[in-house]
């Protein structure tokens, strides 16, 4: 079963672009919520991410992963692939 990956972004955010590139390099399909100028969407993102308002914010199977650096850290530790193949996260 494919993981449900969601990422909240701003269109020209370099960290968002970097996070999406990593996911694409792993052939991961994801749902992108571009929240440029949409305060309601940003508030929803903050609610889901325990108050974080910076972008990107990434969720795998409804579990909050964090931002771009958090995603790359998981990959560096060899844990990202586990998140992407597990239906429950790690």
C-alpha 79/C-alpha 43 separation (Å) is 29
Question: Using an 8 Å Cβ cutoff, are 1 and 87 in contact?
Answer: yes
Question: Using an 8 Å Cβ cutoff, are 29 and 39 in contact?
Answer: no
pLDDT at 87 over 80: no
Instruction: Tell me the pLDDT tens digit for each residue of 35-85.
Output: 999 999 999 999 999 999 999 999 999 999 999 999 999 999 999 999 898
**5-85 is classed CATH 3.40.30.10:** yes
Determine the average pLDDT of the residues in 7-36: 97
pLDDT at 71: 98
pLDDT at 89 over 60: no
Strand positions, DSSP E, 10-48: 31-34
C-alpha 23/C-alpha 72 separation (Å) is 10
- Beta partners for 35? none
SS3 63: strand
Question: Using an 8 Å Cβ cutoff, are 7 and 19 in contact?
Answer: yes
């Amino acid at each position: 079963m494919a993981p449900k990956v969601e990422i909240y972004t701003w269109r020209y955010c370099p960290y968002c672009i970097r996070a999406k590139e990593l996911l694409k390099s792993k052939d991961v399909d994801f749902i992108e919520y571009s929240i440029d100028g949409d305060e309601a969407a940003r508030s929803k993102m903050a609610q889901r991410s325990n108050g974080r308002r910076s972008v990107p914010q990434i969720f795998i199977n409804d579990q909050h992963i964090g931002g771009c650096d958090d995603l790359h850290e998981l990959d560096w530790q060899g844990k990202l692939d586990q998140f992407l193949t597990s239906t429950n996260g790690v």
